Protein backbone atom coordinates (compact mmCIF):
# COMPACT_ATOMS: atom_id res chain seq x y z
CA UNK A 1 0.00 0.00 0.00
CA UNK A 2 2.81 2.31 0.86
CA UNK A 3 4.51 1.57 -2.49
CA UNK A 4 1.30 2.47 -4.32
CA UNK A 5 1.20 5.83 -2.52
CA UNK A 6 4.82 6.58 -3.41
CA UNK A 7 4.24 5.61 -7.05
CA UNK A 8 1.10 7.76 -7.18
CA UNK A 9 2.97 10.70 -5.67
CA UNK A 10 5.77 10.52 -8.27
CA UNK A 11 3.26 10.05 -11.10
CA UNK A 12 1.39 13.18 -10.04
CA UNK A 13 4.68 15.03 -9.64
CA UNK A 14 5.75 14.13 -13.18
CA UNK A 15 2.38 15.15 -14.63
CA UNK A 16 2.40 18.47 -12.82
CA UNK A 17 6.01 19.41 -13.65
CA UNK A 18 5.86 20.24 -17.32
CA UNK A 19 7.75 23.15 -18.82
CA UNK A 20 5.76 26.32 -19.17
CA UNK A 21 4.82 27.77 -22.54
CA UNK A 22 7.19 30.23 -24.16
CA UNK A 23 6.36 33.89 -23.49
CA UNK A 24 4.67 35.82 -26.26
CA UNK A 25 4.48 39.52 -26.98
CA UNK A 26 1.02 40.95 -26.41
CA UNK A 27 1.63 44.67 -26.90
CA UNK A 28 4.07 47.24 -28.13
CA UNK A 29 4.52 48.69 -24.64
CA UNK A 30 7.94 48.60 -22.98
CA UNK A 31 8.76 45.31 -21.33
CA UNK A 32 8.61 45.15 -17.57
CA UNK A 33 9.66 42.42 -15.22
CA UNK A 34 7.83 42.49 -11.90
CA UNK A 35 6.60 45.98 -12.81
CA UNK A 36 10.18 47.29 -13.24
CA UNK A 37 10.68 48.85 -16.70
CA UNK A 38 13.46 47.28 -18.75
CA UNK A 39 15.03 50.21 -20.61
CA UNK A 40 17.65 48.18 -22.48
CA UNK A 41 15.03 46.29 -24.52
CA UNK A 42 14.29 47.87 -27.92
CA UNK A 43 10.71 48.77 -28.76
CA UNK A 44 9.31 47.77 -32.12
CA UNK A 45 9.12 50.64 -34.62
CA UNK A 46 6.09 52.88 -34.23
CA UNK A 47 5.44 52.85 -37.97
CA UNK A 48 6.49 50.77 -40.98
CA UNK A 49 10.02 51.29 -42.24
CA UNK A 50 8.63 52.44 -45.62
CA UNK A 51 7.00 55.44 -43.88
CA UNK A 52 10.11 56.57 -42.02
CA UNK A 53 11.60 59.81 -43.28
CA UNK A 54 14.73 61.89 -43.63
CA UNK A 55 15.08 65.59 -44.44
CA UNK A 56 17.56 67.07 -46.88
CA UNK A 57 19.17 70.46 -46.24
CA UNK A 58 16.66 72.13 -48.58
CA UNK A 59 13.81 70.82 -46.37
CA UNK A 60 12.72 68.14 -48.86
CA UNK A 61 11.40 65.07 -47.07
CA UNK A 62 11.88 61.57 -48.45
CA UNK A 63 10.55 58.20 -47.32
CA UNK A 64 11.94 54.77 -48.00
CA UNK A 65 8.61 53.92 -49.65
CA UNK A 66 9.22 56.61 -52.27
CA UNK A 67 12.27 54.63 -53.44
CA UNK A 68 10.29 51.46 -54.19
CA UNK A 69 11.78 49.52 -57.10
CA UNK A 70 15.35 50.56 -56.31
CA UNK A 71 17.95 49.01 -54.05
CA UNK A 72 18.82 51.42 -51.23
CA UNK A 73 21.71 51.96 -48.85
CA UNK A 74 21.06 54.13 -45.80
CA UNK A 75 24.40 55.00 -44.23
CA UNK A 76 24.33 56.53 -40.72
CA UNK A 77 27.47 58.59 -40.04
CA UNK A 78 29.06 61.55 -38.25
CA UNK A 79 32.04 63.74 -39.14
CA UNK A 80 34.07 62.64 -36.09
CA UNK A 81 33.88 58.92 -36.97
CA UNK A 82 37.05 57.43 -38.58
CA UNK A 83 35.30 54.27 -39.92
CA UNK A 84 32.63 56.53 -41.47
CA UNK A 85 35.38 58.36 -43.35
CA UNK A 86 36.85 55.01 -44.50
CA UNK A 87 33.47 53.81 -45.75
CA UNK A 88 32.64 56.77 -47.99
CA UNK A 89 35.04 55.92 -50.86
CA UNK A 90 33.57 52.41 -50.95
CA UNK A 91 30.02 53.78 -51.09
CA UNK A 92 31.13 56.22 -53.83
CA UNK A 93 32.38 53.22 -55.85
CA UNK A 94 29.07 51.41 -55.39
CA UNK A 95 27.16 54.53 -56.47
CA UNK A 96 29.28 54.78 -59.62
CA UNK A 97 29.04 51.04 -60.37
CA UNK A 98 25.26 50.71 -60.06
CA UNK A 99 24.10 54.16 -61.13
CA UNK A 100 20.38 54.83 -60.83
CA UNK A 101 19.61 51.24 -59.76
CA UNK A 102 21.11 51.90 -56.32
CA UNK A 103 20.17 54.89 -54.17
CA UNK A 104 22.59 55.80 -51.40
CA UNK A 105 21.66 58.34 -48.75
CA UNK A 106 24.12 59.38 -46.06
CA UNK A 107 22.18 60.07 -42.88
CA UNK A 108 23.97 62.37 -40.45
CA UNK A 109 23.57 61.35 -36.81
CA UNK A 110 26.35 63.44 -35.27
CA UNK A 111 24.02 65.88 -33.53
CA UNK A 112 23.68 69.65 -33.66
CA UNK A 113 27.29 70.29 -32.55
CA UNK A 114 28.56 68.25 -35.51
CA UNK A 115 26.47 70.01 -38.21
CA UNK A 116 28.87 72.93 -38.81
CA UNK A 117 31.58 70.42 -39.82
CA UNK A 118 29.42 68.81 -42.55
CA UNK A 119 30.41 71.05 -45.51
CA UNK A 120 34.14 70.47 -44.96
CA UNK A 121 33.52 66.78 -44.33
CA UNK A 122 31.60 66.41 -47.62
CA UNK A 123 34.35 68.26 -49.46
CA UNK A 124 37.22 66.34 -47.83
CA UNK A 125 35.67 62.90 -48.30
CA UNK A 126 34.29 63.71 -51.77
CA UNK A 127 30.96 62.14 -50.78
CA UNK A 128 29.23 61.56 -54.15
CA UNK A 129 25.75 60.85 -52.84
CA UNK A 130 23.23 63.02 -51.00
CA UNK A 131 23.14 63.41 -47.26
CA UNK A 132 20.16 64.11 -45.03
CA UNK A 133 19.01 64.03 -41.43
CA UNK A 134 16.92 61.04 -40.28
CA UNK A 135 13.74 61.42 -38.27
CA UNK A 136 14.00 60.44 -34.62
CA UNK A 137 12.00 57.22 -35.05
CA UNK A 138 14.29 55.97 -37.82
CA UNK A 139 17.36 56.73 -35.71
CA UNK A 140 15.82 54.98 -32.68
CA UNK A 141 14.96 51.93 -34.79
CA UNK A 142 18.44 51.63 -36.33
CA UNK A 143 20.36 52.22 -33.10
CA UNK A 144 18.05 50.22 -30.81
CA UNK A 145 20.58 47.45 -30.21
CA UNK A 146 23.91 49.12 -30.94
CA UNK A 147 24.87 52.81 -30.93
CA UNK A 148 28.18 52.46 -32.82
CA UNK A 149 28.66 54.21 -36.16
CA UNK A 150 28.73 53.85 -39.04
CA UNK A 151 25.66 51.71 -39.42
CA UNK A 152 24.74 50.77 -42.96
CA UNK A 153 21.39 49.37 -43.97
CA UNK A 154 20.98 47.61 -47.33
CA UNK A 155 17.36 47.43 -48.52
CA UNK A 156 16.02 45.53 -51.53
CA UNK A 157 13.75 46.76 -54.32
CA UNK A 158 10.62 45.79 -52.38
CA UNK A 159 11.65 47.72 -49.26
CA UNK A 160 12.83 44.75 -47.19
CA UNK A 161 16.04 44.91 -45.18
CA UNK A 162 18.69 42.65 -46.70
CA UNK A 163 21.28 43.26 -43.99
CA UNK A 164 22.48 45.83 -41.46
CA UNK A 165 26.18 46.42 -40.90
CA UNK A 166 27.83 48.03 -37.89
CA UNK A 167 31.29 49.50 -38.45
CA UNK A 168 33.43 49.31 -41.55
CA UNK A 169 36.50 47.33 -42.62
CA UNK A 170 37.55 45.36 -45.73
CA UNK A 171 35.49 42.31 -44.71
CA UNK A 172 32.37 44.43 -44.19
CA UNK A 173 33.01 46.13 -47.55
CA UNK A 174 32.75 42.74 -49.27
CA UNK A 175 29.64 41.86 -47.29
CA UNK A 176 28.01 45.17 -48.26
CA UNK A 177 28.71 44.41 -51.93
CA UNK A 178 27.16 40.94 -51.58
CA UNK A 179 24.11 42.44 -49.86
CA UNK A 180 23.73 45.04 -52.64
CA UNK A 181 23.79 42.23 -55.22
CA UNK A 182 20.99 40.48 -53.32
CA UNK A 183 19.05 43.74 -53.03
CA UNK A 184 19.32 44.37 -56.77
CA UNK A 185 18.29 40.78 -57.61
CA UNK A 186 15.08 41.01 -55.52
CA UNK A 187 11.94 41.80 -57.46
Which structural domain, as residue segments, surrounds residue 53? 47-185
Residue 54 lies in a domain: yes
Element (H, E) at 107: strand 102-108
The closest of 187, 89, 105, 92 to 154, measured between CA atoms, is 105
pLDDT at 133: 97
Domains identified in the chain, total number? 1
pLDDT at 113: 95
Residue 37 lies in a domain: no
* Distance (Å) of CA 45 to CA 53, 130, 136, 139: 13, 25, 11, 10
Residue 139 lies in a domain: yes
How does pLDDT run across 138-173, given as a tens digit for each residue? Answer: 999 999 889 999 999 999 999 999 999 999 999 999
pTM score, whole prediction: 0.76
Residue 51 lies in a domain: yes
Using alpha carbons only, how large is the chain's radius of gyration in Å?
24
What CATH number is given to the structural domain containing 178? 3.40.30.10
How does pLDDT run across 14-64, given as a tens digit for each residue? Answer: 555 444 444 444 434 444 444 555 454 456 677 899 999 999 999 999 999
How does pLDDT run across 164-183, given as a tens digit for each residue? Answer: 999 999 999 999 999 999 99
pLDDT above 50: residue 86: yes
Residue 102 lies in a domain: yes
Residue 41 lies in a domain: no
pLDDT at 91: 98
pLDDT at 186: 87
Residue 10 lies in a domain: no
Instruction: Categorize the per-residue pLDDT at 4 as very low, low, confident or very high, splitting at 50, 70 and 90.
Output: low
Q: Which residues of 21-48 are buried (b: 16+ CB within 10 A; e: fewer)?
A: eeeeeeeeeeeeeeeeeeeeeeeebeee
- DSSP secondary structure code for residue 81 in this structure: -
Amino acid sequence: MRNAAVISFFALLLIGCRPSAAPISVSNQPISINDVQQTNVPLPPSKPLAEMTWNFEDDRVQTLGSLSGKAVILDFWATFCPPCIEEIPHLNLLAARYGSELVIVGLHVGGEDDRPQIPDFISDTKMAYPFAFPEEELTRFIFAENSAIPQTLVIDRSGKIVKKFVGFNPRIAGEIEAAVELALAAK
